[in-house]
Structure 1
Amino acid sequence: MSERGIKRREFVKAAVAIGGSAALSACLDRNGAPDVPQGPDDLSTLPDRQHAWNGALSTDDHGNVLPARHQVLLYLNYAGSGTPTAAERETVETAFRSLERAYRRRNDGLLFSVGYSPSYFDRFPESLPDSVDLPSPSALAPFEDPTFDRQDAVVHLASDHAAVALAAEEALLGEKTELNGVEMAASLSGVLQKADRRTGFVGAGLPADNQDVQGIPNSEPVPEESPLYMGFKSGFEKNQASEDRVTIREGPFAGGATQHVSKIRLHLDQWYEQDSREQRVAKMFCPAHAAEDRVEGVGENLGDDSGMDEKCTENVADRARERGMVGHSQKSATVREDDSPLILRRDFDSTDGGEAGLHFVSLQRAIGDFEDTRTAMNGTDVAEKSSVGQRLNNGILQYMTVERRGNFLLPPRSKRSLPSPA
């Protein structure tokens, strides 16, 4: 990678992190406007599932879905009092439809979704139907004390082009009236107000180019080919739930999904400076992977499956006693239904606040599916039956702190604009 290329990727990350019209202008001045086709005139051709991104994303040589490289989480609060009006719903829907007309629905265009929190639905006299499992967020481990995100809504924007994600955000907030040659017929301004924004990136080269932050040692240990800060691939196809699996099947929100979003701070000094390569493989995947040298580089050789066979998943507590540690993927693989994982991950790294972080975005049919998976990740049962600690040598728990948690409902597209519970 040339020095010029590294500086360009650092600049793009910084522009997304800063946000606003000045950052967008600087990004366009430096890199030019990306050549992105407009979206369709007939929006009925788009899928009704907001979370149906996989068919619009690229894949690698093994069929694993590759996430869009630049991402923004835009948190919003309802600006009105009482419950939203029909006119406000129409305004919000018009804004979202303008985005869809401006950019084609692809990773090299724009993908986005909007979710609503339990706090949003609390303003209505009626309750959510039993077909929607959307509890208020809570601490999900005995060792965490997160702040809970109770903003009304979150819009998730994703694109391979930083300028596209930034321009879409500005247009939604009413700061741009034209987008990729398409007039913004409305914005969210006056109906939904910005409460917070979080940003990040994922993909080979980006973590390595943006590792000069707190939480990563000065030795610049993140491999150039790694898509994430911890130095390994994730999102193997066979270790992800399908979009069908995470879709709500009945009730007024059939075709939607639930979304959990965590903000996690990473502490990778020991990970890279003290732990050996063998220890990192054992803790990320499984001790058997390390003992048998199954993982090459960042794990590209694993194909579409992290390889959690019976040496990893059978009698996990007994194996933890033998090895003195348990792997992250090893624990996660124990939570399946009909041989399928319960959650679909769409997480990405971050330098928000000058710290190495991870925004863990999880889709599932019910929030309870995420909570069950998280219980397995905690490894509390393994710690009680072996020398493995509650965090020490217990997967990758000791290298991260959960700072925030939030739960949201992603309605189908047809009901995405300020929905009522019914």
Structure 2
Amino acid sequence: MAERGISRRSFAKAAVAIGGASALAACLDRGDTEPIPSGPDDLSTLPRRQHAWNESLPTDEHGNVRTPYHHLLLYYDYGSAETAAGGATPTADERETVENTLRSLERAYEHSNDGLLFTVGYSRRYFERYDAALPESVDLPRPDALAPFEDPERDEFDVVVHLASDRADALLEAEEALRGNRETANGEEMAAALEDVLRFRERRTGFIGEGMPAERDDVDGVPDGAVPEDAPMYMGFKSGFRANQATEERVTIGSGPFEGGTTQHVSKIRLHLEQWYEQDSRSQRVSKMFCPAHAQEDRVEGAGQNLGDASGASACPAHTTDARENGVVGHAQKNTAAREDGAPIMLRRDFDSTDDEAAGLHFLALQREIGDFVETREAMNGTDANEASGAVGVRHNNGILQYMTVLRRGNYLLPPRDKRALPRPS
């Protein structure tokens, strides 16, 4: 892998996207001045909630949590194709193998952006191999289209592992260890590998952070040189404002055998940014991402860092009013309708991607119930705005809908940490 003339961050993103032993070797050869911090000897000090990341992540001056720069989604099915077809269920020994693998990673890497953060989730298809049903406290439907203009494929792999770190070398080494291609991870001996029990199916990659999308504008769907240099995401604006995110407590399942867990939705989305950057003006982009008032009053500077800890969409006029009066509604403006007692119900940890050599987004959201995601997605559809004004179409002038195509959708249960290894439904 060539590295001359490539920035450290560009090199790291390319290495994560390529993956495998050669990419890891290139990362290690290039080297980092700081060692990767190791995990604790006493694993009981780690959070019971798999999704409890925020206290281990840095925040900006406004208290907004900064998610790690590099991400991997690894998809698996249980057992071999033959045993899966036969309806086999995991054994106690297999659960122990998976748990020992995950504990090895926790000992190898600090639970932080400088080390490694990860979750393990399970699809409804995984649980359907059991005679018992999931408890009523778990809302985990099969994924489906959520708008009349969508036709996504269902992601129904049994297992998804989400790995995140600021260190590309940590991410790649952890992946190789999980897949049984390394006997150690960050100097820690691996007790086992996931592929001792699970069958690897697919990997997806991504990144998020100021300047990172601009460094990767040489893919389909992004006009050359169009992405602002300070933008943390391809569409040019900041997301993940603290006031617009549900808390980890809010998205946690509060009762039943999976108390302390959460549900996760992952969409694979293709971005189409030619019109976004080449035809739409800066004012139009602000109107569609936030609301027309933000554009009219010039509220957004650059990527929106000046907005502090909130997008300010709650101060926008009602989106149906803007539909009638301005013929356009904003993405953030519509989503304020999906709240409970004025507070957000979904926690986003999404990231951009160059998978398939095209600009994309892996929209990863945590919520207590998948129904909370569905409610938020229905608000994003803006059907009422479309009905209020002929100028707002099903997708045209309706937030950012026309700039993305949902390719795949998947729903998963993230059990609490003590039940994360091939869980039974109850």
- Which range, TM-score by smaller chain? over 0.9
Corresponding letter in the other structure for 1:134: L
Inter-partner Cα distance in structure 2 for 1:29 and 1:58: 28
330-339 or 95-104, larger mean C-alpha shift: 330-339
87-96 or 186-195, larger mean C-alpha shift: 186-195
Inter-partner Cα distance in structure 2 for 1:187 and 1:310: 50
Question: Which residue in the other structure is 2:364 paired with?
Answer: 361
**Aligned residue runs from structure 1 range 261-340, under 5 A:** 261-312=266-317, 314=318, 316-340=319-343
Find 1:404's aligned residue among 402, 408, 411. 408
Q: Does 1:196 align with 2:202?
A: yes
* Deviation beyond 4 Å, 4+ runs, structure 1: 3-6
Question: TM-score, normalised on structure 2?
Answer: 0.96
Distance of aligned partners of 1:212 and 1:22 in 2 relative to their CA distance in 1, 3 Å threshold: same
Q: State percent identity of aligned pairs.
A: 66
Q: Which runs of 5+ in 1 are unaligned?
A: none
Q: For 1:300-340, what per-residue CA distance to the aligned partner results, in whole angstroms no more than 9, with x for missing partners?
A: 1100011123433x3x2122110110000000111110211
Q: Does 1:185 align with 2:188?
A: no
Deviation at 1:7, TM superposition (A): 3.5
Inter-partner Cα distance in structure 2 for 1:29 and 1:23: 10
The count of residues paired between Structure 1 and Structure 2 equals 417
Inter-partner Cα distance in structure 2 for 1:199 and 1:24: 15
Q: Does 1:110 align with 2:116?
A: yes
Corresponding letter in the other structure for 1:397: L
Inter-partner Cα distance in structure 2 for 1:121 and 1:185: 26
Deviation at 1:33, TM superposition (A): 7.7
Question: Which residue in the other structure is 2:259 paired with?
Answer: 254
Question: Which residue in the other structure is 1:9 paired with?
Answer: 9
Question: Which residue in the other structure is 1:389 paired with?
Answer: 393
Inter-partner Cα distance in structure 2 for 1:63 and 1:177: 39
**Aligned residue runs from structure 1 range 227-238, under 5 A:** 227-238=232-243
Inter-partner Cα distance in structure 1 for 2:336 and 2:343: 9
Contact 1:34/1:163 (8 A) holds in 2: no
Contact 1:265/1:401 (8 A) holds in 2: yes
Question: Which residue in the other structure is 1:60 paired with?
Answer: 60
Question: Which residue in the other structure is 2:98 paired with?
Answer: 92
Deviation at 1:29, TM superposition (A): 1.1
Question: Which residue in the other structure is 1:419 paired with?
Answer: 423
Find 2:226's aligned residue among 186, 201, 221. 221
Deviation at 1:180, TM superposition (A): 1.1
Inter-partner Cα distance in structure 2 for 1:310 and 1:158: 34
Q: Secondary structure at the match of 1:156?
A: strand
Deviation at 1:282, TM superposition (A): 0.3
RMSD: 1.2
Contact 2:313/2:332 (8 A) holds in 1: yes
Q: Which runs of 5+ in 2 are unaligned?
A: none
Q: For 1:57-99, what per-residue CA distance to the aligned partner results, in whole angstroms no more than 9, with x for missing partners?
A: 1111111000100000000110153100000000000000000
Inter-partner Cα distance in structure 1 for 2:398 and 2:97: 48
